[in-house]
């Protein structure tokens, strides 16, 4: 009989028998708690992943493209920008190039006298469409045309509202399409512009900007054949680093940076804080799971002390008995993990269909499967330890003590 009790098959048999004869309500409750632990360990990470993706997409689509080229050290502008743009178009992997010129201005709403000091940015509207997506987020009016000379494009936050209490940032106080604004340049030129369009990307920094055409900027600031930055679009964001090195290999001497290098510091602190909160939630969730498994296993074993004593009396080794309880814990964990993953995907589906609006846009949660895998391993490990301790403790008792209950 001792030989029959010396293998995995006996542990499995005892575990299956215990699960079938056990309290179903307790089993289901344990599985549900473990499932909720899986959700708690990964929910905030899912939101963080969505925030990071949303922020990265906005940086690429409206601020930096995939690669941004800046002036050399101690220089304020890129010389021979037109030649550099043509050169960049010939580089493999480049799908769009747009040269930008920016200058400090004061924009005044002539209707109410409100003004804002901003960096006015100029580009070729045709080139810009191949790099950024401003033309897709026009909420009122039209996008700029290459020949526009007295038209301006404003972000929704800069245009603002007539009621200041509705503004998220200082604004011009409710500028509409067709209104005129006055722009005072740093060289003393003051010119009136008709608001041709208003765009809204849902990014605070992005929607507080203003744009004119390159032809208009050149005529006022004499910035022909120069640029303060050049945006380059590649095939994908993942290939940005490779594209950067290809551009450098093609002899570009200016500073070349990827979108990630340019924007990593802006959101870094916020993500670090959120990750800290996520780690704390993970730790608390693991503690909850370990306590629940320990209590359930301990109560289960206490209720079966006589059975354990009988099993030991007929020659089944205590390692086999402990193994049967560990298999029960593993079964509970597996069912809980599967249920938790289903719940996570359900939450993700609901939040994808009914998108949550964040200050930077509509968020789509993203499950980080690497973090999910780590959390599952940790949960299983903690649960097995929590199940092993009471099982080992009781099976170490003398046979007569166990049979007395």
Give 203-240 pLDDT, tens digit per residue: 888 999 999 999 999 999 999 999 999 999 999 988 99
Q: Alpha-carbon Rg of the chain, whole angstroms?
A: 32
Q: What is the pLDDT of residue 218?
A: 94
Question: pLDDT per residue over 92-116, tens digit each?
Answer: 999 999 999 999 999 999 999 999 9
Is the pLDDT at 153 greater than 90? The verdict is: yes
Q: Of 203 and 122, which is predicted with more confidence?
A: 122
Average pLDDT of span 118-128: 95
Q: What is the pLDDT of residue 1?
A: 39
**% of the chain residues with pLDDT over 70:** 93
Is the pLDDT at 266 greater than 50? The verdict is: yes
Cβ atoms of 343 and 35 closer than 8 Å: yes
pTM of the model: 0.77
Looking at beta carbons, which pairs linking 319-322 to residues 24 or more positions away fall under 8 Å?
320/5, 320/6, 320/7, 320/10, 320/11, 320/14, 321/11, 321/14, 321/391, 321/395, 322/388, 322/391, 322/392, 322/395
pLDDT band at 139 (very low <50, low <70, confident <90, very high): very high
Strands 226-227 and 180-185: unpaired
Residue ranges in 118-182 assigned as alpha helix (H) = 125-129, 156-159
Q: What is the pLDDT of residue 21?
A: 81
CB atoms within 10 A of CB 32: 15
Average pLDDT of span 188-204: 93
Q: What is the pLDDT of residue 62?
A: 94
Task: Give the angle subtended at the CA of 384 by the CAs of 341 and 372, to the nearest 5°.
Answer: 25
Helix (H) or strand (E) holding 201: none
Average pLDDT of span 324-352: 92
Cβ atoms of 281 and 36 closer than 8 Å: no
What is the spatial distance between Cα 331 and Cα 41, in angstroms, rounded to a whole number? 20
What is the spatial distance between Cα 198 and Cα 196, in angstroms, rounded to a whole number? 7
């Amino acid at each position: 009989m001792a030989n029959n009790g010396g293998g995995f098959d006996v542990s499995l048999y005892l575990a299956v028998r215990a699960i079938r004869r056990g309290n179903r309500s307790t089993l289901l409750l344990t599985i549900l708690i473990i499932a909720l632990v899986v959700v708690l360990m990964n929910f905030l990470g899912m939101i963080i992943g969505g925030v990071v993706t949303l922020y990265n997409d906005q940086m690429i689509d409206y601020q930096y493209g995939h690669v941004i080229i800046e002036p050399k050290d101690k220089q304020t502008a890129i010389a021979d920008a037109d030649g550099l743009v043509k050169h960049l178009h010939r580089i493999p992997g480049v799908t769009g190039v747009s040269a930008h010129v920016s200058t400090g201005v004061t924009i005044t709403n002539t209707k109410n006298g409100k003004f804002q000091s901003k960096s006015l940015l100029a580009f070729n509207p045709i080139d810009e469409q191949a790099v950024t997506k401003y033309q897709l987020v026009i909420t009122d009016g039209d996008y700029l045309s290459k020949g526009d000379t007295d038209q301006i494009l404003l972000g929704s936050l800069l245009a603002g509202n007539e009621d200041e209490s509705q503004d998220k940032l200082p604004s011009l106080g409710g500028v509409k399409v067709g209104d005129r604004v006055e722009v005072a340049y740093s060289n003393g030129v003051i010119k009136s512009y008709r608001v041709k369009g208003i765009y809204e990307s849902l990014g605070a920094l992005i929607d507080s900007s203003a744009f004119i055409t390159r032809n208009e900027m050149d005529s006022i600031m004499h910035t022909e054949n120069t640029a303060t930055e050049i945006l380059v679009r590649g095939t994908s964001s993942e290939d940005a680093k490779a594209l950067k090195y290809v551009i450098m290999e093609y002899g570009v001497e200016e500073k070349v940076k990827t979108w990630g290098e340019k924007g990593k510091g802006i959101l870094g602190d916020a993500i670090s804080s959120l990750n800290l909160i996520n780690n704390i939630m993970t730790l608390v969730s693991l503690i909850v799971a370990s306590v629940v498994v320990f209590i359930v296993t301990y109560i289960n074993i206490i209720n079966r002390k006589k059975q354990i004593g009988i099993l030991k009396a007929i020659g089944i080794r205590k390692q086999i008995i402990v193994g049967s309880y560990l298999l029960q814990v593993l079964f509970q964990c597996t069912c809980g993990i599967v249920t938790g993953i289903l719940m996570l995907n359900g939450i993700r589906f609901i939040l994808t269909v009914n998108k949550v609006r964040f200050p930077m846009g509509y968020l789509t949660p993203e499950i980080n499967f690497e973090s999910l895998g780590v959390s599952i391993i940790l949960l299983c490990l903690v649960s097995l330890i929590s199940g092993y301790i009471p099982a080992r403790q009781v099976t170490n008792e003398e046979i007569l003590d166990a049979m007395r209950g």
